[in-house]
Amino acid sequence: MSGADVESKGAEMTMEQQEAAAMPQNAAELLARARALAPVLRERAESIEQARRLPADLVELLREAGVFRTSVDRADGGLELTSVEQVEVVEALAHGDASAAWCAAIGANTGIYRAFLDPAVAGKLFPGPDLITAGALQPAGRAEWVPDGSGFRLTGRWSFGSGIAHSDWVTSGAFVYRDGRPYASPDGSNPHESRQFLVPRAQVEVVDNWRTTGLCGTGSSDYTITDVFVPEEHTFTFDAVRGRPGPLAQPDAFLRTLCGVPLGVARAALDHAREVALTRVDGMTGVAWADSYRVQVTLAQCEADFAATRNGVYGAMRRQWEVLAAGGTLDDLTVHERAASPLAWLHAFRTARSIVDRLYDLLQTWSINRPSPMDRWLRDTATMCQNLSAQDAVLETVGAYLLDRTPKLRICLGIVD
């Protein structure tokens, strides 16, 4: 190797070291960066909506901030944040823009999926801690075993692929077939097995059909995969941890952070309404809004609802983490502790929508113009409440669980058997 080569290599290593040093080293540093990004996202909110996806430069801002490495193990270059710390980051981003925060929460689940892959395979698929995984987990596809058993031919169409346009990998649920017939799990536990299949983004076709009321910038389009070979080792199920066990290597882990989006939006709406109230005077009476009974009561009621809801989310999450971090399992939680998490997530969505609705009415005509953030928050919260996490099916599931009946959406309780 020549002296020039040595010098070049040394410079390259220095750049790599500088890049590593520029990344946040802990939860506090990342949260500070997320809070600093929020005003940037707020300023770009209208262009994010118009693009109907997260613009590439904003994806890179999130990546450079370290947002997508939150659930990746420290041994693999990640931050390995607790669930509480991850939700705080999503909440801070949502204070700026709901679509950006939604994409951040989805894309940051890569580290969780890694736990269900063989470590060597995970290292090859995700050589860095900032790669983004998107996709839809419901088994909407068909995966046929190839004759030699080395993998599958995957075909299907999936809905709601949030962030898929800027992803690196796409994970999709599909039912497994062999010789054209439903494939039963060898242990007899499942008469028709389904798995998750990881496919490079380049082998996925995005359907340009995301034209919605709210969360317009998430780019949650349908997508198709047609006869793509997926090696067996690129598949996983949430009942088999093949990586390092831990609080994030859990079946429900990928569901935990989305509730940060409605919390962040509700906080932003409350801050905005308070700012408006401090500057407005009733044109007919000359009374300052800050002296209005109606304004005071509405703000206080919304603040009370927000505080109770947020504390419910974080309280349930901290208790769950405490048990899992001590080496326990979800089964070590009491039935009420286990039920608390999905109920808190649902309540975050529904309460945020209620808060925004009331503040929208409070501000009256100052809410209705499209440049108004209240208009966007109204549409965003209405749309996000159509997500499965905010549906009555969650209540039905938890109610059945509390009554010792079979839950419908077992995954939200971390039940996969």
Residues linked to residue 197 through DSSP beta bridges, in sequence order? 172, 235
Residues 224 and 312 in one domain: no
Within a domain: 6: no
Nearest in space to 258 (alpha carbons), one of 375, 137, 376: 137
Mean pLDDT across the chain, nearest whole number? 93
Q: How many domains does the chain have?
A: 3
Lowest mean pLDDT among 10-19, 84-93, 129-138, 408-417: 10-19
Tell me the average pLDDT across 51-70: 96
**C-alpha distance across the termini of the chain, in Å:** 57
65 CB-near residues (< 8 Å, 6+ apart): 24, 30, 33, 34, 37
DSSP 240-283: ---S--STTSSTTGGGSSTTHHHHHHHHHHHHHHHHHHTT-B-T
Query: Considering the entire predicted model, what is its pTM?
Result: 0.93
Within a domain: 281: yes
Say if residues 107 and 99 touch (Cβ distance below 8 Å): no
The pLDDT of residue 9 is above 50:
no
Residues 371 and 264 in one domain: yes
The CATH number of whichever domain residue 160 belongs to comes to: 2.40.110.10
Within a domain: 80: yes
Report d(CA 187, CA 181) in Å as an integer: 17
Tell me the average pLDDT across 176-201: 90
The CATH number of whichever domain residue 68 belongs to comes to: 1.10.540.10
The pLDDT of residue 109 is above 70:
yes
At 147 the pLDDT is 95
Range of the domain at 197: 133-236
Tell me the average pLDDT across 190-198: 93
pLDDT tens readout for residues 286-335? 899 999 999 999 999 999 999 999 999 999 999 999 999 999 999 999 99
The pLDDT of residue 172 is above 80:
yes
Residues 110 and 144 in one domain: no
Residues 290 and 186 in one domain: no
Within a domain: 60: yes
Residues 351 and 276 in one domain: yes
The pLDDT of residue 62 is above 80:
yes
The pLDDT of residue 207 is above 60:
yes
Residues 63 and 105 in one domain: yes
At 338 the pLDDT is 98
pLDDT tens readout for residues 336-384? 999 999 999 999 999 999 999 999 999 988 888 877 899 999 999 999 9
The pLDDT of residue 91 is above 50:
yes
At 18 the pLDDT is 46
At 190 the pLDDT is 80
Residues 322 and 396 in one domain: yes
Residues 269 and 383 in one domain: yes
Nearest in space to 264 (alpha carbons), one of 106, 102, 92: 92
Last residue of a domain, one of 221, 236, 251: 236
The CATH number of whichever domain residue 290 belongs to comes to: 1.20.140.10
Rg (CA), the chain: 23
Q: At 329, phi and psi to the nearest 5?
A: -120, 175
Within a domain: 288: yes
Within a domain: 125: no
Within a domain: 253: no
pLDDT tens readout for residues 26-41? 999 999 999 999 999 9
Lowest mean pLDDT among 98-102, 132-136, 212-216, 278-282: 278-282
What is residue 288's DSSP assignment? Answer: B
Using pLDDT thresholds of 50, 70 and 90, give the confidence band for residue 99.
very high
Residue found by looking up tokens 């928050």 in the block: 377
Enumerate long-range contacts of 54-61, CB under 8 Å, 24 or more apart.
54/99, 54/100, 54/103, 54/163, 54/165, 54/166, 54/217, 54/218, 54/219, 56/166, 58/100, 59/103, 59/132, 59/166, 61/37
The pLDDT of residue 21 is above 80:
no
Residues 201 and 108 in one domain: no
Residues 167 and 296 in one domain: no
Residues 107 and 189 in one domain: no
Using pLDDT thresholds of 50, 70 and 90, give the confidence band for residue 15.
very low
